[in-house]
Amino acid sequence: MTRPLSLGADAVLALIPHRRPFVFLDGVEGFARAPRPTLSGHKQISVNEPVFAGHFPGMSLWPGVYTVEGMGQTINALLVVLAIIEGFEARGLTEDDALAALRNIDARQRMGRRRLSELERELLEGLGSPAERVGLASALDVKLIEPVYAGCTLRYRVTLDRALGSARRFAVEATVDGRPVARGAMTSALPLATPT
């Protein structure tokens, strides 16, 4: 069962290597480690997105490839969250400790909260810079079901289905107002190193 994990843009930028204008994950909404690792997030599609200047002028149609990329970025964030949890547990801490540290790097939640402890900071920094991490999709089997337009909130849900060697297969879905707009599977060919 997915539990709430509210992380905003600052936390997302700490997790993934992508930068504006190519960030298609605005925030994280939920996480589950069992029975299968799952992460849900969202992208608020503004009419001010740079792509709308040339993609179907006169009609603010969100490119389907951006939806696919957003699901890929959500996969990347899930892999980093799992690596952070594993790093915390290797030091005798818990999953809850790791999630609390993630919440504390989010600017929206830092106000009035405690600062990161030295150990939390060390473990989070053990992942290195987000720019040092890359994700690579080696196989895509995603169907675009409905068009997406400006003004929508695009919600992503990615679930780790299988892991074999360095390959990870994810079930992916994107929805708008509860209706699926894209669905399928993505396979990642590069694992994320666990922090030491």
Catalytic site positions: 55
For residue 21, the Cα-to-chain-centroid distance in whole angstroms is 16
Nearest partner of 124 among 146, 144, 101, judged by Cα: 101
> Which of 80, 92, 108 has its CA nearest to residue 6?
108
Sheet holding 179-188, edge to edge: 3-7, 27-32, 38-44, 153-164, 167-176, 179-188, 137-144
The first and second tokens of residue 84, run together, are 């952070």
Coil, helix or strand at residue 115: coil
- The strand pairing partners of 158, in sequence order, are 39, 172
126 vs 14: CA distance, rounded Å: 12
Write the CB contacts of 100 (distance below 8 Å, at least 6 apart in sequence).
none
